[in-house]
């Protein structure tokens, strides 16, 4: 098996042209009402043209109260459909599979953007947020689950082949999964089985609101400060296998490292998930992959699909070039001129200046 070999997704029989996935990347280029701009569409279509098997959009809020930053893509209203349809058909025409990453910011959706107090599983506060969240009521949770379902339905209507449910990185779904951020005493809190109810109900609702062929990928953080441990994440993966999701995506940040309970043994996080999954559902892993050797390592650790983010910003044809002899994508920092040439708008370049060492005149 190599990065360039195709993969047939077991539940639907849908074929992916290769193992390379453009991971979700926020790029701040959408309009205030969540509608996609031409710049955001161009950035993604350029990567579809560059050969990626799957193109994932930036994190997109499913309800207005879930918006976490300016320029964020939204999938909560029909006014967003026209540009979503343009993006979905462009991705399809270029031979990639398009997934919209759907999410809600929870504690990290500030009042300055939503005009409402942030909501979460419990009353929470973390560094960098404007104010404390309030605890969601039972009926509000049910409504939010429905928002995810409606958003997925809208994505299918626009022509996307699936969604990636963003359960990683400390946003609302993570806040439910985490022991520290979910201290509820009702059916949404308690043991892992209860704390994962919100995510599992979202998966169910997306399934109910979309056709049989519609793909559901779930992205999780194997470990996170909200109170998510590797053991529980492995347990969660079992629950997701039972739900027959199409792809499990683990966000490792660094695929070469081990989990914090296992620092001596050199067993990577990807290896631990692949041992549990036993090929029952495809595993996608992402984090610090820059070249073919890195990608091959991820596959050798048991991943079926390999995600990249930063390298694809600077190298839109990465997927097409992998497998060709002597391809060695150059590393950051990149000049703003180079980034303009690869379809990044000034807004996106400015955002990338905040990522340490990425842009020559950035942080």
Ligand X SMILES: Cc1cc2nc3c(=O)[nH]c(=O)nc-3n(C[C@H](O)[C@H](O)[C@H](O)COP(=O)(O)O)c2cc1C
Binding site for ligand X (CB under 6 A): 23-26, 58-59, 101, 166, 168-169, 219, 251, 253, 286-289, 308-311, 355
Nearer to ligand X, 121 or 168 (CB): 168
Q: Which residues contact 93 (CB under 8 A, 6 or more apart)?
A: none
Element (H, E) at 188: none
C-alpha–C-alpha distance, residues 94 and 98, integer Å: 10
Unique residue bearing structure tokens 């999780």: 220
Nearer to ligand X, 189 or 233 (CB): 233
Task: List the Cα angle 21/224/295 in 5-degree steps.
Answer: 25
Name the minimum Å distance from CB 219 to ligand X: 6
> Whose CA is closest to 76, among 172, 7, 147, 5?
147
C-alpha–C-alpha distance, residues 234 and 279, integer Å: 14
**Alpha carbon of 99 to those of 56, 115, 188, 235: distances in Å?**
5, 29, 28, 25
CB atoms within 10 A of CB 252: 24
Name the minimum Å distance from CB 165 to ligand X: 11
Nearer to ligand X, 136 or 312 (CB): 312
Name the minimum Å distance from CB 223 to ligand X: 14
Nearer to ligand X, 34 or 287 (CB): 287
**Alpha carbon of 161 to those of 11, 17, 84, 188, 304: distances in Å?**
14, 14, 12, 30, 19
Name the minimum Å distance from CB 315 to ligand X: 11
Name the minimum Å distance from CB 275 to ligand X: 22
Name the minimum Å distance from CB 137 to ligand X: 27
Nearer to ligand X, 310 or 321 (CB): 310
Name the minimum Å distance from CB 102 to ligand X: 11
Nearer to ligand X, 24 or 121 (CB): 24
Q: Please say whether the dihedral angle defined by the alpha carbons of residues 240, 243, 249 and 251, taken in this order, is positive or negative.
A: negative
Name the minimum Å distance from CB 212 to ligand X: 26
Backbone phi, psi, residue 203, to 5°: -55, -45
Retrieve residue 342's tokens. Answer: 């690869």
The H helix count followed by the E strand count for the chain is: 14, 13
C-alpha–C-alpha distance, residues 192 and 354, integer Å: 35
Nearer to ligand X, 135 or 304 (CB): 304
Nearer to ligand X, 176 or 184 (CB): 176
């Amino acid at each position: 098996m190599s990065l360039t070999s195709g993969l047939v997704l077991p539940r639907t029989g849908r074929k992916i042209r290769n193992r390379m996935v453009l991971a979700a990347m926020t790029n701040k280029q959408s309009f205030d009402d969540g509608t996609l701009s031409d710049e955001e569409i161009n950035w993604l279509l350029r990567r579809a043209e560059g050969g990626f098997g799957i193109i994932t959009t930036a994190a997109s809020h499913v309800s207005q109260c879930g918006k976490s930053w300016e320029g964020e893509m939204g999938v909560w209203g029909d006014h967003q459909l026209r540009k979503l349809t343009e993006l979905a058909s462009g991705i399809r025409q270029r031979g990639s599979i398009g997934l919209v990453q759907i999410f809600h910011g929870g504690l990290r959706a500030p009042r300055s953007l939503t005009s409402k107090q942030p909501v979460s599983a419990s009353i929470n506060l973390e560094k960098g947020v404007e104010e404390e969240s309030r605890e969601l009521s039972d009926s509000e949770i049910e409504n939010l689950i429905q928002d995810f379902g409606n958003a997925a339905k809208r994505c299918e209507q626009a022509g996307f082949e699936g969604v990636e449910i963003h359960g990683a990185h400390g946003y609302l779904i993570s806040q439910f999964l985490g022991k520290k951020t979910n201290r509820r005493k009702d059916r949404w809190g308690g043991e892992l089985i209860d704390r994962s109810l919100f995510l599992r109900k979202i998966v169910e609702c997306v399934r109910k609101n979309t056709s049989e062929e519609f793909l559901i990928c779930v992205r999780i953080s194997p470990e996170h400060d909200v109170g998510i441990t590797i053991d529980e994440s492995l347990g969660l993966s079992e629950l997701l296998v039972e739900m027959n999701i199409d792809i499990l995506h683990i966000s490792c940040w660094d695929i070469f490292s081990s989990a914090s309970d296992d620092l001596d043994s050199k067993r990577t996080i990807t290896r631990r998930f692949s041992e549990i999954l036993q090929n029952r559902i495809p595993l996608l892993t992402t984090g610090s992959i820059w070249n073919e050797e890195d990608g091959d390592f991820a596959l050798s650790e048991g991943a079926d699909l390999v995600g990249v983010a930063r390298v694809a910003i600077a190298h839109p044809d990465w997927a097409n070039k992998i497998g060709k002899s002597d391809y060695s994508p150059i590393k950051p920092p990149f000049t703003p001129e180079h980034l303009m040439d690869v379809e990044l708008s000034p807004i996106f370049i400015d955002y990338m200046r905040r990522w340490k060492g990425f842009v020559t005149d950035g942080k």
